[in-house]
Structure 1
């Protein structure tokens, strides 16, 4: 199967005037560049069908859903972006095409999902994107503020920590609600609720699947984030207090 042709067909359908899910620039062009099959195990050409997949106990969003989220987020080149709910890394890869991989920061509360996202992003050519294991409701304060924050999980309200980490003039997009969810956009003008959506709830520490975190793996994640922080921000900034 020629994957480039499959990608073009996928994006053509999203850009078509009858659907109008994404604009060609920048979201459509970015989705044409990202090898989605690298993020959906054993899917081959089916990775380019407009459907969800399940992987590592998490939902791999359909291309139209990703496109809808990114259109609302409206990222621009050079924006510092936080993705809460990294999943397998596909959305982060599309964002990396738009803003640059070094500007993408993603978190997920489930360790095996974080490992999968890191591997997928590296294999697809986006190793510069940082993925860390932590409670997404607390954001990623070491790299704040963020010009754009995308939350791929639902909550009743926007977590205070995420509001606090949004840069002046920035934009946050996330699903709000429980049974009836709406895609909300938060910016300097306030909160605007848009289309109806259906997302899994935002998990906080202690609610994730799997075994408790071991001290060694917790330390490894901290060291991983620390190395990226030093590489991106330089040694002139204050040392991070990880404790």
Structure 2
């Protein structure tokens, strides 16, 4: 069957009352245009509403992607960062809306970075920058971002991602450990909760496929240490010149 027809059927199903996971018309148009079959080897199941396992990661089902993109609500010209590039499909949707040169995607797994680059080029979005990075660190050299999508579960969003958000921007991520809820926070601190999802946790260095060392607390320990240092007052700060303070 013609892939364009399959895409129409896919989006119609996501908008139907039975699922009702896609309300944003801009996102709906993008999902009708982006060739999802370019990101999956099995073209027959590319438009089925289910996850796919690719290179040790999970390509999210169309309904889960729709939930995230609905909450993200990118617009033309937005600077977008996708954390957890995976095979590149979500970045392609963002590129279809915001413009491919405005979209950046990062992943901690090098094989996925290569896969995403190839898939995006094959789908016509080779202007998207895909780089191998620790997702918790973001992409500071291209910040600030109007939209940041974190496609991995966290209890709280990495501080670096919050810092790289534009004042009127929006960060979307799955919050929780087991079953999560899609949460959107703005640069001004506003927070909204959306549908429930279930994703794997954010990986840190040493946890990507093919490595031996695994240390889930690396990112948290680093952030907590920095927060403690910044919260110290008075005698805890080694830079205070107490003698001069007393003399004055």
- Structure 1 length as normaliser, TM-score? 0.84
Gaps of 5+ in 1: 213-243
- Compute the displacement of 1:211 (Å): 4.7
> CA–CA distance in 2 between the matches of 1:18 and 1:113?
33
Aligned pairs for 1:110-189 within 5 A: 110-187=109-186, 188-189=188-189
Shift in CA distance, 24/163, structure 1 to aligned 2, threshold 3 Å: closer
Partner of 1:194: 194
Cα RMSD over matched residues?
1.3
Q: Verify the 8 A CA contact 2:78 2:98 in the aligned structure 1.
A: yes
Gaps of 5+ in 2: 213-248
> CA–CA distance in 2 between the matches of 1:211 and 1:181?
27
Q: Verify the 8 A CA contact 1:87 1:108 in the aligned structure 2.
A: yes
Deviations 1:28-78 (A, max 9, x none): 10001111011011x113100101000011000000110110000011110
Shift in CA distance, 19/180, structure 1 to aligned 2, threshold 3 Å: closer
Partner of 2:77: 78
Secondary structure of the corresponding residue to residue 203 of structure 1: coil
Q: Verify the 8 A CA contact 1:15 1:24 in the aligned structure 2.
A: no
- Structure 2 length as normaliser, TM-score? 0.82
Secondary structure of the corresponding residue to residue 206 of structure 2: coil
Q: Verify the 8 A CA contact 2:80 2:103 in the aligned structure 1.
A: yes
Residues matched between the structures, number: 211
Of structures 1 and 2, the larger Rg is shown by: 2
Aligned pairs for 1:222-233 within 5 A: none
Partner of 2:37: 37
> CA–CA distance in 2 between the matches of 1:192 and 1:33?
28
> CA–CA distance in 2 between the matches of 1:2 and 1:45?
11
Secondary structure of the corresponding residue to residue 48 of structure 1: coil
